[in-house]
Amino acid sequence: MQRLFAKLNNLFRSGRADRELDREVSAHLTLLEDEFQNRGMSIENARFEARRAYGGVEQAKQLHREERSILWLEQTFADLRFACRSLLKTPGFTTVAVLTLALGIGANIAIFAVVNAVLLQPLPFQHSEQLVRVFDDLNGAGGKDIGMSEPEFEDLRDRSGVFDHISALFPGSSALSGGDHTERIELLVTSSDYFQLLGAQPALGRVYGPRDAQPGFTESVVISDGLWKRQFGGDPRILGRRIRVDEDGYTIVGVMPPDFRHPARTLTGDVELWAAFGFAADPLPSPPVRAQRLLPGAIARLKPGLTILQAQQHLDALTAQLAQTYPKEYPAASKWSLRLEPVEQTLTGSVRPTLVVLLAAVGFVLLMVAVNMASLLVARSSARMRELAIRQALGASRARLVRQLLTESVLLSLAGGLAAMLVLALTKGSLLALMPSDLPRLSEVHFDARVVILASVLSLATGILFGLTPALHASSTDPNRDLKEGTRGGTSSLRQNRFRSALVATEIALSVVLLSGAGLLVHSFWNTLRVNPGFDPQGMLVARIWIPFPNNPAMNRYRTAPAIAGFTREILRRARTLPGIEEAAMGGDNSVPLVTNTRNQTAFWLPDQPDSAVKQRAAESASVSPEFFQVLRTPLLRGRFFTESDTDKSKLVVIVNESFAKLYLTGPAVGQRINFRVGQRFADWEIVGVVQDVRNDALDTNASPRFYRPLYQGTANEMAIFLRGQPDSSGLKQAVTGIVQAVDPDLPVYGVRTLREMMATSLARRRFSLSLMAVFGALALFLASIGIYGIMAYAVSQRAQEFSIRMALGAEARDILLLALRPGAILTLTGVALGLAAAQGATHLMASLLFGVSAADPITFVSVPVTLALVALLACWIPASRAVRIPPVAALRS
């Protein structure tokens, strides 16, 4: 132990120990000389004999060094010092190398940090693997996630036997009043044990729990940290505060911590208010009806030790049993079933393919950086051939040389990794702002230990990866030959050129893969821009209104169709007088395209179809004012639009979209009836028109079957105003809010945006992955062209003499050019061919990100190789054309 300390101490004070030893050795030699002189030798002889008696001075010193210190560590320090010196001597090379590496490693860390937070880290709840979502499907009717009824929820809670807790989830809007104006907030209605289910604790106060359970709403509500700070100024005495939500009174009993997030979809942002509801009292019909699926969905915690598969089997048994008990509610042909899915998968499943593809792409970028670095190092080591040969001649072993060269490359990549981490840590905020805001779990992205470890490992591995081959290569020298070559002025061997060529071909192949990926995304994006959304976004402004939904139906001023119609007509009358507005329309629930829908699909029957008795179907539904389709410029294909006379006093009518007609109806659509439940009654609705499909979910998602109801034949909670004119004119957004509040000051207006902005948001994720891929692709192209330029320039300079001789012998400039271009062309073609083969495999992974193109898109797979070949040939052509211009005499003499 004591020796270890002494040794470590000597590591850092090596110089001092060496000086002490020098002094001791020379003292020793002096004593020996004295002795020999005493024996009568001459001074000269005595000195000589003293040296002989002592033995090899340098060898003794080396032994001493080895004894007093830890040799390999000391050598590493020496290597590091040497690497630093030699890197500092070539600042240009070092800067380029560190920057390239920082870019490659930094991109990987950044993407990994996101993947880590979004996909790898478990959700921030205890035993989050037990959390599942429960969805109702009507597989026979093509209905997914159609919602569940309260009796079904009770069956799940009380009879399934697989859940510790289960809570319904009802995301929605609500009107929070009490401040200077009524504000729309994001509400989540849950069952009473929602927080116990998640195991979530409040930051302040308490949360509601199973003891608060009752058929109606619990008076105690919980608010988010965001709402607490924004609306209540972070008041520490908030607990017990009475608030009015949708005209009903509640008491705030708790505030959640800032990092608590509801682990499922919401409408417009993070949940701001949690309220508990038994779903069996006002404002929902009571007693609840089994076939009326008013609950959008549920979250549950599995009993410990139960796998999802086992739980699913239990649920399958339960649904079979229920279908037998209630044959009328569960017709066999519609195949009602319950589906369990891990909460994490529901939350992040949709971004997984994007992130995985980006991670793969960024990995390719790093690979390219490494290959590029390897190629640079080979070039550098051929310049250092002589130095290495001298070292070897002086007795350095091959392993020792490899170690020294590796130290240099690892040092470079560690510097790159460090630079990357620093830049990322400093720019984290602005980088996150670049991410599409609808990416789930974005707030959980941190540079935690895992990311730092990855950064270190990545740097180290990259350093070894790009350093090892050139080091092995450079160290396998024959000192004899290389010393001679070195003196002759540095003609490098054929072997070395071949090795660099292989590296460059690899670079080209890698960039083909990256560019193909980018190309496919560009083509997909182009397709989404060209897609006909079913409306004309030019000059459209949308403003959303929340009609409060008080628990006591009598309190609801808008609970009848005439009330809604009156309100709508008044808003439209005022909106048409706004400056710059030419046309206006309104819509009810689900009428706004490209936003998250609240409502599930509606199940319905088709009495006029031959299989009507057994076959239930499901489709989206929306309610719209008579002007809606004309204002949005959605073409009518058959029949008629709604009119002012389609009211609750007239025949019930619907308009279906094209997909609906194609998928569900045989024979002429207009005149057929569809039958579905509104409120407590089933009714027949006559189809009066067919309109073109509107891309309601997203521009890159095909339209689903959908039917529209007249706004004046029912009620609505979510409403929206659609204005056409010059919506960008300043003040219009405020003016729209103004007219709504002039009609009813208690109605909150929100989400006032142009349809163009909404389209941009809808494409944000696609745009994001596209931009990243495009940057990666451009980077790859750049690195590959530098690589091929480097090797071609070198090859041409090597063959300058040969070219001169040929020209002196009468070769034309064209012949020389072709001669100089040929190796580059062969290299490029080899790389492109390899890359195409690899890309064919790699791009299949991207299938789910593509839109309107196949993974083997001919346009991409022709344009990418052609572009690359052109760029590569240009990179070859520059040095080749230089070769032609060298005056033969000059080259011959050099």
Half-sphere exposure of 396 (CA within 13 A, CB side): 21
Nearest-approach distance from CB 94 to another protein, in angstroms? 35
Q: Which is nearer to another protein, 33 or 137 (by Cβ)?
A: 33
Q: Which is nearer to another protein, 2 or 577 (by Cβ)?
A: 2
Q: Which is nearer to another protein, 25 or 472 (by Cβ)?
A: 25
The DSSP result for 170-201, as a single string, is EEEEEEEESSSS-EEEEEEEE-TTHHHHHT--
Say which amino acid occupies 758: M
Beta strands in 271-329 (DSSP E): 273-277, 297-302
How far apart are alpha carbons 418 and 30 in whole angstroms? 52
Nearest-approach distance from CB 400 to another protein, in angstroms? 14
Nearest-approach distance from CB 63 to another protein, in angstroms? 5
How far apart are alpha carbons 752 and 814 in whole angstroms? 66
Nearest-approach distance from CB 3 to another protein, in angstroms? 5
CB 297 within 8 A of CB 152: no
Beta strands in 290-428 (DSSP E): 297-302, 336-342
Nearest-approach distance from CB 476 to another protein, in angstroms? 25
Nearest-approach distance from CB 65 to another protein, in angstroms? 9
Q: Which is nearer to another protein, 4 or 309 (by Cβ)?
A: 4
Polymer length of the chain:
894
Helix (H, G, I), strand (E, B) or coil at 594: coil
Nearest-approach distance from CB 453 to another protein, in angstroms? 36
The DSSP result for 467-509, as a single string, is HHHHHHHHHS--HHHHHHHHHTT-PPPHHHHHHHHHHHHHHHH
Q: Which is nearer to another protein, 63 or 457 (by Cβ)?
A: 63
Helix (H, G, I), strand (E, B) or coil at 538: coil
**CB-based contacts of 550: which residues, under 8 Å, 6+ apart?**
246, 247, 248, 283, 556
Number of C-beta neighbours around residue 776 at 10 A: 22
What residues make contact with another protein under the rule CB under 8 A? Answer: 2-3, 6-7, 21, 23-25, 27-28, 30-32, 34-35, 53-57, 59-60, 62-64, 66-68
Nearest-approach distance from CB 98 to another protein, in angstroms? 39
Q: Which is nearer to another protein, 38 or 577 (by Cβ)?
A: 38
Q: Which is nearer to another protein, 67 or 478 (by Cβ)?
A: 67
Nearest-approach distance from CB 51 to another protein, in angstroms? 10
Nearest to 641 by CA among 590, 678, 692, 704: 692
Q: Which helix (H) or strand (E) holds 379?
A: helix 352-383
Q: Kindly tell me the burial class for residue 223, based on how many C-beta atoms sit within 10 Å of its own C-beta (0-12, 13-18, 19 or more).
A: buried
Q: Which is nearer to another protein, 27 or 613 (by Cβ)?
A: 27
Q: Which is nearer to another protein, 47 or 557 (by Cβ)?
A: 47
Q: Which is nearer to another protein, 74 or 246 (by Cβ)?
A: 74
Q: Which is nearer to another protein, 60 or 379 (by Cβ)?
A: 60
Nearest-approach distance from CB 402 to another protein, in angstroms? 21
Half-sphere exposure of 838 (CA within 13 A, CB side): 21
Half-sphere exposure of 678 (CA within 13 A, CB side): 17
Place of tokens 């460090």: 418
Nearest-approach distance from CB 62 to another protein, in angstroms? 7
